[in-house]
Structure 1
Amino acid sequence: MQETKVVLNKDWTFKACDEQDWKNAVVPGFVHTDLLKNGLIQDPFYGTNEKLVQWIDKKDWEYKTTFQVADEIRSEEHVDLIFHGLDTYADVYLNGIPILSADNMFRVWDVNVKTILKAVDNELRIVFRSPIQEDLPKLEELGYQLPAANDQSEVGGLSQKRVSIFARKAPYHYGWDWGPRFVTSGIWRDIELRAWSEDYIADAYIHQNKVSESVATLTAVLEVNVDQAGPRVIRIETDGGEWTKEASLPAGESKVSVDFELESPKLWWSRGLGEPHMYTFKVQLLDTTGSRAKAERQIKTGIRSIRLVQEADEYGTSFYFELNGVPVFAKGANHIPNDSFITEVTYERYRHEIESAALANMNMLRVWGGGIYEQDVFYDLCDEYGILVWQDFMFACSMYPGDEAFLASVRHEAIDNMKRLRNHPSIALWCGNNEMDSAWAHYNENGGWGWKKDFTQEQREKIWADYEAIFHHLLPEVIEELVPGADYWPSSPIVSISNDINQHATTSSVTGDVHYWGVWHNAEPFENYNLQLGRFMSEYGFQSFPEHKSVLRYAEPLDLELTSDVMMAHQKNGDGNRLIKEYMDMYMTEPKDFPSFLYMSQVLQADAMKVAIEAHRRNRPFVMGTLYWQMNDTWPVASWAGMDYYGNWKALHYYAKRSFADEMISIDDTKPGRVDLYLLSDVLQPLEGNISIRIADFDGTLHEVQTHLVSIAGNTTGLVLSLDREQLLRGRDEQRTVMIVELVRKGEVIDSQKHYFVPFKDMKLTKAQIEITEVEGSEGTKFHLKTSVLAKQVWLDSNQEGIFSDNFFDLIPGETKEVSFFARRGGEQAFELANPGELKIRSMSDFIKETQVQK
């Protein structure tokens, strides 16, 4: 009935093709990781070692293994070798016979090997040709350099020869402004032997035609392969129903569809709106009696309707996702690969990331187009946690060829990955590429990134025609064929496909999505996040360093200086360290030493993102999505990430947890003389309660208390109070005054915010003495914190891996803050309530120079 599968990941060896000595290899893996595990190279992440391993991508490498094949497998009518991921140019030999020449990292390769297999000692050998040597001739043949803004060819010793655009391979392997250049080769996904006879279901997709709470109208689309033509019974089973259909199938490959309805379906919801319920559908091909299953496949999916709503409104054209009829304000971040060597990313690391997203109240991640089509486990976890996925195709910040062979490869790549991913209910959007439309800006002579000026008019037209062939024709055609009706967005950001100057996104677009980088790249003030607003903010960000103990995992104490070789090697944005320092001078006081600089860089980043996130949420429904750059890191580095490479939550991630809260208060002081209080709600029920306002001194002296009854409808934003700044201060020292605002519902504090009347650098801080006591009966897992004076950005740190229920928060005298510790675990939950072990607690007054602390 079922096909037999045998994974061939054991007993591999490898070597350079021009050498004789075979070494043990780990599959899946890469040449770099195998060299490291054999002690043949130093840790490429440490110090300045990146530059020491650039020779690897210039050589050819080969891998081989031997395996046995049981008689019951060899006796099957069909025996195939399936290569789920070969990176990238690979010639494959089975028992000395060439069976495959692969040229796309993202494709699945299927080869019939029945007549070649032996019972014992089958040799499988794969030769990986150097991606650099393979593609340099293509550049020479083309005669000009296509734009590839992040290809660090100089690091690889290639001068200005940027060849990344020719390979269908993860673009970030060639370097990025947060990542190193490691151009890999290797077997990066499983190889399996698959055998079957009679009938086989090659693919199964549950297409959701129309979904409501009362009924889901579905179609099972099957790709089948049968040896003998004739009638079959197709049976579909799941919780809540069973359906059958008789079909006459021709011999060989064919497609067959079964329409059916699921009554009163349990819908899949994104985090915060409901349960992300999943169904398992069992699909069988039966003989005509219905008694014997000849083939079977299981499909796991969630039942939901989702669409990208782009409709004319009072502002321009909307851009938001509607899930099961409910408008969703998207909250989250951009996801990049979790490692330069993706095979090193364990299940636990994936769960850690997705659970961290859910714990931070996110409901969307964007799989960015310069990485990989993620591993299955990533999407499984997004389904489980209710995290929507904006899925880019793997093209970013470059212009690509458009020859026939390249287009054919892209088409196969798109088909393979869409078939693999289309049953995941989490996928909300398919997007063609990252920033290519706005970077080239074909219809705006003075727009874009300045690329066009390097080309003749004839070359420009050819480059743009190649772009349109992929992103305006090929990809939408594949989507409509495989996922009819699914939403496609050709480039992020873009306004629309208008074929004129209005197509390209700007930071003032009232249609489409926006990437706003004035803060950071242009050194614009944080306050501009309140002004530069788009319908969907799909990228924006600010950098920070990892924490001190993370930095010491890739640097020596002598390297702890902003312009040291190691700090510069682990800062891939050319102006990055200068910009962090420039912004720190603008908004903060001077750190007392380099570890303090690391801490303050994180607070600075978190403050910037809080301003942005809450500005976006307050401006709902004009803005309906906010995805900051970026969620994670591929290696230990100073970057825009909210979690460092080792999984430690930076200040940003804790701030995001608070600023993404489903129900919260947001305070806006951008209007002269006013302090405005907003309620933000992403739940469907109305939000009603009391707002308590306390005005206090930094020493805890309470000056004034106000209470206001407030309410807003569910799933909306509302201005509920507009207060006079001078009336709040009443002549008190603005440099030592804080406003504490609490939202209380039925006696429970739903949210608490603190507002200051001057920028941080103008505050009169005194040295905070923080008292910490263990909560009785908690077995050391929960703590109460109190302080003598205002303690800003209280940082709790443990010698155990894990997270705190809250961190980098402000504490004032008279408050008792309860905090729990959750250790990082590897089970069905990423985090588990635990004892933190050695606990350190510090606040901002511990990191600034003593001369800046009030006595």
Structure 2
Amino acid sequence: MTRQTLHEGWTLRALPGPQVPAGIAGRAVPATVPGCVHTDLLAAGLIPDPFVDDNETALAWIGRTDWVYETTFDRRAGDDERVDLVCAGLDTVATLTLNGVEVGRTENMHRGHRFAVGALLRPGANTLTVRFDSAYRYAQGHRDALGDRPNAYPEPFQFIRKMACNFGWDWGPTLVTAGIWQEIGLHAWSTARLATVRPLVTVADGVGRVELHVEVERVAATPLTVRAAVAGAAVEAVVPAGERTAVATLTVRDPELWWPRGYGEQALHRLDVTLCAPDGRTLDAWSRRIGFRSVRLDTTPDAHGTPFALHVNDTPVFVRGINWIPDDPFPSRITRDRLAHRLGQAAGAGVNLLRVWGGGRYESEDFYDLADELGILVQQDFLFACAAYPEEEPFGTEVAAEATEQVTRLAGHPSLVLWTGNNENIWGWHDWDWQEPLAGRTWGRGYYLDLLPRIVRELDPTRPYWPGSPWSGSEELHPNDPAHGTMHIWDVWNTDDYTKYREYVPRFVAEFGYQAPAAYATLRRALTDEPLAPDSPGMAHHQKATDGDAKLQRGLDAHLPEPADFDDWHFLTQLNQARAIQLGVEHFRSHRDVCAGTIVWQLNDCWPVTSWSAIDGDGRRKPLWYALRRAYADRLLTVQPRDGGLALVAVNETGEPWRAPATVTRLTLAGEPRAKTAYPLDVPAYSAVVLALPADLAGPEEARRELLVAEAGDTAERALWFFAEDREVDWPAARFDTTVASGEDGQRVRVTARTVLRDLTLFPDRLDPSAEVDRALVTLLPGESATFTVRADTALDPVALTARPVLRCVNDIDAATRAVPAAATEGATA
């Protein structure tokens, strides 16, 4: 058995069409495989960077063009009985020709293909050609034949099995790709090969079981032996002559368990599978790390409705989640190192679950391997989003094939704990005025409630399936009912102030989000606007949400001072995003007896854009990331409205009781105490305690000049409650002292407050794009100090590092009272 990759020597050319620019028509350029048309044209210098300004618009012709990839290769000598051309991923409508003979056609980006080509291979040079027809022409053709169906955007993405967000989204560019986007090569083999290996892992009563399902493809009707070993257990199974499947069970007593991060270790065990001929020769081999763990959903009705509670190893897990979108429109640019950094950022923010959203892709082996290692749970959507999808052919067959392949491929990963049928499509059918234009045509219901659950049940009954996000557990209920199953909350962003989060006590929140622009260095890399302004041409083009800037302004008007310039607007919109999501998460966590989890929209971006992300398109952390780290901390202290008053809520998501002295103090902005209460805090493991605050704490004498400060033992972050919105608070002009000292870990910026400093934050990327800071959104009372560690490729100017627009707080907004640091020195003691 030999494998020969075919990743070298490729060229790319556009087939003639009136839309093809003159400098590209008829020209062959070097192509990188895996890759896509856009990345090859970029490498050849034939198109501008689509992420810069409005270049995206000028590149729309690419998705409407037919493209040809071609390479010549020498066949490796061998006497194998079978040679297959194996394509892990073709994007999307492809015709493959070997030495002038068509060998196959594909029309699904989300599955692999294998073609027998041994009879077509020649000694010496062989020519492989892959033609990609326009995704637009294909999708529009099927739309015309089957009848249009509603969706969220004026693009035909539901009429092709392709990454939907390639066609643009309210956070993404319209860059309709084509190309050989995953590995391609020749596989030569004899007798038989392993077609699929599907380990179903369960744990019960201290016994781990791997039920191993093996399917073989054969060219010889001989008996075969499957051998498997894991964690000291071994087993053999025979595939009788002429048959294609075998099931073998490995039993491991008291295995080291795999746990989500924060609940235990991530024990992984290598499972090795070999296929042997009658004479003992190894014909094929397969290996993967697996983890022993159980997973189930508790949806047993209770007094509050229908819960949606995830249990791993029979332990309830409060989900501290965030949604994941494709990290780049061009998947071949997403390396394992980039994924490791991004998932590390998620873990650093306290995230324990990533939901892979249904308008992107089934995530890669690298993604799932890293999630396995980090203990990050994964909810994988099947790929249907925000549209009515046709169920007629060829789509019914293609969906079944892709689902079968992906459920089988991902079965061994312990991090994968839930399959979801779609994103918002059942909700859309109910609430988005779809039913009349559909006029009885199919829209995807058969996928979500029949085909997909049947495939999961047959191929991987070890994992739960949920028909949609949101979904309330029954067609008898509205799909976005807060009292049942999962819900999405989007009225807050679209129409209401973010304090409305407190009106919901849902069972599980699978999406809610609030926008802010990207980091300043990211904007400056991507936009040539001079000057930058909220509505300058580049900023406007990189705001894809309907009325997005108006919604940002509505949020500012409700809470914060009027920005005097772009620098103020940038800081305040990022701050408002962080506050909105922190308020929502802390509220939902404070009701953990009813609500079993939150999944914030969204972790990442795929390009520089104003969006709901915590990490922007260049990988920089927005203030939201720091707010999430606090709101998702294992131990959370928060002040919440309760029953017409205020309460101190302590949430403990650890396996140990949380016992500490707690105090709540009502202070003036000058730091003068007005009232104080002490509590002996005693919070059992995985629970919350709610303590009503007395009237002398909950009722201020001067709402515009007072706040509450709650502290518990050595809790790193304290809880604050302001009685008035920032725009109404009598903020003093911000005054503070600073020192800057160099250390091995970077420059340490120490700020000592002379006045209250609200949400003190450093933006060092304004001085150096490589710079980042370890903390943000720190509120200091007079006399208090905080130290920020700044890391950059080169040392930053201490004066610039401690002044506007790098060092900001809310009470430096008024132009008449902008802060001036009293001192900024290099080499002082931090």
TM-score under structure 2 length normalisation: 0.92
Q: Distance in 2 between matches of 1:800 and 1:640?
A: 21
Identity of aligned residues (%): 31
**For 2:256, what is the secondary structure of its paired residue?**
coil
Q: Distance in 1 between matches of 2:663 and 2:697?
A: 16
- Residue 609 to residue 246, structure 1, CA distance change in 2 (3 Å): closer
Aligned length: 804
Gaps of 5+ in 2: 17-24, 821-830
User: Residue 276 of structure 1: which of 225, 241, 266 is its match?
Assistant: 266
CA contact (8 A) 1:200 1:224 kept: yes
CA contact (8 A) 2:140 2:159 kept: no
CA deviations over 1:172-213 (Å, ceiling 9, x no partner):
11111111211111111111222223342232222124434x
**Residue equivalent to 1:451:** 434
CA contact (8 A) 1:106 1:168 kept: yes
CA contact (8 A) 1:204 1:299 kept: no
**For 1:677, what is the secondary structure of its paired residue?**
strand
**Residue equivalent to 1:762:** 728
CA contact (8 A) 2:733 2:817 kept: no
**For 1:395, what is the secondary structure of its paired residue?**
coil
User: Residue 396 of structure 1: which of 385, 391, 396 is its match?
Assistant: 385
User: Residue 796 of structure 1: which of 762, 782, 791 is its match?
Assistant: 762
**Residue equivalent to 1:249:** 240
Does 2:662 match 1:711? no
User: Residue 689 of structure 1: which of 660, 681, 690 is its match?
Assistant: 660
CA contact (8 A) 2:203 2:292 kept: no
User: Residue 139 of structure 2: which of 115, 135, 138 is its match?
Assistant: 135
Does 2:114 match 1:91? no
User: Residue 562 of structure 2: which of 559, 569, 590 is its match?
Assistant: 590
**Residue equivalent to 2:208:** 216
**Residue equivalent to 2:250:** 260
User: Residue 486 of structure 1: which of 457, 463, 466 is its match?
Assistant: 463
CA contact (8 A) 2:91 2:177 kept: yes
**For 2:419, what is the secondary structure of its paired residue?**
strand
CA contact (8 A) 1:764 1:853 kept: no
CA shift for structure 1 position 234: 3.5
**What is the correspondence of 1:700-849 to structure 2 with a 5 Å cutoff?**
700-701=671-672, 706-719=677-690, 721-727=691-697, 731=701, 733-744=702-713, 748-773=714-739, 778=744, 780=746, 782-798=748-764, 799=768, 801=770, 803-821=772-790, 839-840=801-802, 841-845=806-810, 848-849=813-814
User: Residue 180 of structure 1: which of 167, 173, 180 is its match?
Assistant: 173
CA contact (8 A) 2:261 2:352 kept: yes
CA deviations over 1:585-636 (Å, ceiling 9, x no partner):
1111011211220111010011110111011101112111101111111211
Q: Distance in 1 between matches of 2:80 and 2:664?
A: 75
Does 2:644 match 1:652? no
**Residue equivalent to 2:150:** 147
Q: Distance in 2 between matches of 1:549 and 1:209?
A: 47
Gaps of 5+ in 1: 152-161, 442-447, 825-833
Q: Distance in 1 between matches of 2:106 and 2:754?
A: 66
CA shift for structure 1 position 12: 1.2
- Residue 192 to residue 750, structure 1, CA distance change in 2 (3 Å): same
CA shift for structure 1 position 114: 1.6
More off after superposition, 390-399 vs 347-356: 347-356
Q: Distance in 1 between matches of 2:697 and 2:568?
A: 37
CA shift for structure 1 position 6: 2.5
Q: Distance in 1 between matches of 2:349 and 2:80?
A: 50
CA contact (8 A) 1:800 1:836 kept: no
Q: Distance in 1 between matches of 2:745 and 2:105?
A: 60
**Residue equivalent to 1:607:** 579
> What is the letter of the counterpart of residue 783 of structure 2?
G
> What is the letter of the counterpart of residue 463 of structure 1?
T
**For 1:216, what is the secondary structure of its paired residue?**
strand
> What is the letter of the counterpart of residue 460 of structure 2?
V
Q: Distance in 2 between matches of 1:221 and 1:774?
A: 61
CA shift for structure 1 position 783: 4.8
Does 2:650 match 1:679? yes
**What is the correspondence of 1:461-540 to structure 2 with a 5 Å cutoff?**
462-464=441-443, 467-498=444-475, 500=476, 502=477, 504-506=478-480, 508-522=481-495, 524-540=496-512
CA shift for structure 1 position 678: 0.7
CA contact (8 A) 1:592 1:847 kept: no
CA deviations over 1:46-71 (Å, ceiling 9, x no partner):
11212111111221110111122221
- Residue 621 to residue 669, structure 1, CA distance change in 2 (3 Å): closer
Does 2:411 match 1:411? no
Q: Distance in 1 between matches of 2:368 and 2:791?
A: 24
- Residue 118 to residue 808, structure 1, CA distance change in 2 (3 Å): farther
**For 1:55, what is the secondary structure of its paired residue?**
helix
**Residue equivalent to 1:445:** none
CA shift for structure 1 position 761: 1.5
Q: Distance in 2 between matches of 1:180 and 1:387?
A: 28
> What is the letter of the counterpart of residue 509 of structure 1?
P
User: Residue 74 of structure 2: which of 43, 68, 75 is its match?
Assistant: 68
Q: Distance in 2 between matches of 1:705 and 1:609?
A: 29
CA contact (8 A) 2:84 2:114 kept: yes
User: Residue 634 of structure 1: which of 592, 603, 606 is its match?
Assistant: 606
Q: Distance in 1 between matches of 2:235 and 2:516?
A: 57
- Residue 638 to residue 75, structure 1, CA distance change in 2 (3 Å): same
Q: Distance in 1 between matches of 2:754 and 2:233?
A: 66
- Residue 611 to residue 469, structure 1, CA distance change in 2 (3 Å): same
CA shift for structure 1 position 777: 6.1
- Residue 66 to residue 769, structure 1, CA distance change in 2 (3 Å): farther
Does 2:193 match 1:166? no
* Stretches (4+) displaced over 6 A: 834-838, 852-855
CA contact (8 A) 1:845 1:853 kept: no
CA contact (8 A) 2:229 2:250 kept: no
**For 2:562, what is the secondary structure of its paired residue?**
coil
TM-score under structure 1 length normalisation: 0.90
CA shift for structure 1 position 770: 4.0
Q: Distance in 2 between matches of 1:316 and 1:785?
A: 49
CA contact (8 A) 2:745 2:789 kept: no
CA shift for structure 1 position 651: 0.9
**Residue equivalent to 1:238:** 230
**Residue equivalent to 1:109:** 113
**What is the correspondence of 1:263-342 to structure 2 with a 5 Å cutoff?**
263-286=253-276, 293-342=282-331
Q: Distance in 2 between matches of 1:114 and 1:315?
A: 63
> What is the letter of the counterpart of residue 180 of structure 1?
P
> What is the letter of the counterpart of residue 93 of structure 2?
Y
User: Residue 192 of structure 1: which of 164, 172, 185 is its match?
Assistant: 185
> What is the letter of the counterpart of residue 421 of structure 1?
L
**For 2:526, what is the secondary structure of its paired residue?**
coil
**For 2:115, what is the secondary structure of its paired residue?**
strand
CA shift for structure 1 position 730: 6.8
> What is the letter of the counterpart of residue 454 of structure 1?
P
CA contact (8 A) 2:746 2:792 kept: no
